[in-house]
Structure 1
Amino acid sequence: MSLLDESGPLAIATRLLRLSEQLRRDSFLLFKELGIDFQPKWFPVLYILHHKPVLSVLELAAEIGYTHPSTITLLKELEKEKLVRSKKDKQDERKRLIQLSAKGEALVLQMQPVWQLVAAAATELLDTPHKLLEAVTEVEHQLKEKSFLARAKAFLPGESAAEST
């Protein structure tokens, strides 16, 4: 066990990032081994647009839980790869509507059987007494109720719980 692992809750963000990177790396290697040109970071956008075919950038950002700038960066990459396309909203020309391109739709069709493999492997991995997925969902809900920043500030000398909400 490393010193970071022994630090307990102090390194939770680092450990979650490390876990995420390992899962993404192994997923990438799986796709590569199966001859599919796919980056795991593209998954949330392709998955959402497969199920909700036309979304504004803001709607897409809300669906995937990313900031607007992060979503724009990812969309630029996907547009460069010709996996998504955008058009102006006829009702509001300031809005861009995003949808899968023909190439993106073909990739999703190619990916669907692999998504089933990934889901099966993840289900096996997550089948522990501690129920990680349920815990992550619970923590995400708690962060919506009260941010980590507010929680940490509540422990500052002179701060009260009422001031930090």
Structure 2
Amino acid sequence: MNVIDEIGVLAVSTRMQRLADQIRKDGLLIYKASNIDFEPKWFPVIYSLYRRSVMSVVELAAEIGYSHPSTISLLKELEKKKLIRSKKDKTDERKRLLVLTEKGEELIRQMQPVWKVMTEALEALTDTQNNIMKAIEEVEQKMAEQSFFQRAQSIKKAI
């Protein structure tokens, strides 16, 4: 056991990041083993556009929960790979609407069977006594009620 594992809840962010990094690395290996040129970091954008067809940049950022600059960065990569394209909104010329390209739609078709395998593997990993997905939902709900910062400030005032 290393110091990060020993420290407990104080290192929750570090441990979650470590877990997310490992899942992303393995996801990349799964895509490569399936001869699919795809970066796991692109998943939230590609999947959201697959499910919603057309979205503005602002809608997409809100949907995936990323900051506007982070979303823009991913969009640039995906446009460079010709997986998505943007077009002007006919009702508001300032607004960019995002859609999958034909290449992006073909990629989705290739990935769907891989996603089924990944889902089963992830379900097997997360199906534990303390189911991580349920725990994440509970923590997200508590943070929506009162953020980590707000809780810390309340505790600090009480001391």
C-alpha separation between the residues in 1 aligned to 2:102 and 2:32? 21
Q: Secondary structure at the match of 1:85?
A: strand
Match of 1:163 in 2: none
- TM-score, normalised by the number of residues in structure 1: 0.93
Match of 2:78 in 1: 78
Q: CA RMSD in A?
A: 0.9
Render the CA deviation track for 1:50-73: whole Å, top value 9, x for unaligned: 110000001111111111111111
Alignment of 1:116 with 2:116, yes or no, is: yes
1:114-153 matches, cutoff 5 A: 114-153=114-153
How far is 1:48 from its partner? 0.9
Partner AA of 1:70 in structure 2: S
1:97-108 matches, cutoff 5 A: 97-108=97-108
Render the CA deviation track for 1:144-163: whole Å, top value 9, x for unaligned: 1211111122222xx26xxx
Segments of 5+ residues of structure 2 without an aligned counterpart are none
1:39-54 matches, cutoff 5 A: 39-54=39-54
How far is 1:22 from its partner? 0.1
Partner AA of 1:114 in structure 2: V
C-alpha separation between the residues in 1 aligned to 2:138 and 2:51? 25
Sequence identity (%): 55
Q: Secondary structure at the match of 1:35?
A: coil
Match of 1:155 in 2: 155
How far is 1:140 from its partner? 1.1
C-alpha separation between the residues in 2 aligned to 1:67 and 1:143? 17
Residue-pair matches, total: 158
Runs of 4+ in structure 1 displaced over 4 angstroms? Answer: none
Segments of 5+ residues of structure 1 without an aligned counterpart are 161-165
Higher share in helix? 2
Match of 2:17 in 1: 17
Render the CA deviation track for 1:32-64: whole Å, top value 9, x for unaligned: 111110100111111111110000001111111
Partner AA of 1:93 in structure 2: E
C-alpha separation between the residues in 2 aligned to 1:88 and 1:145? 37
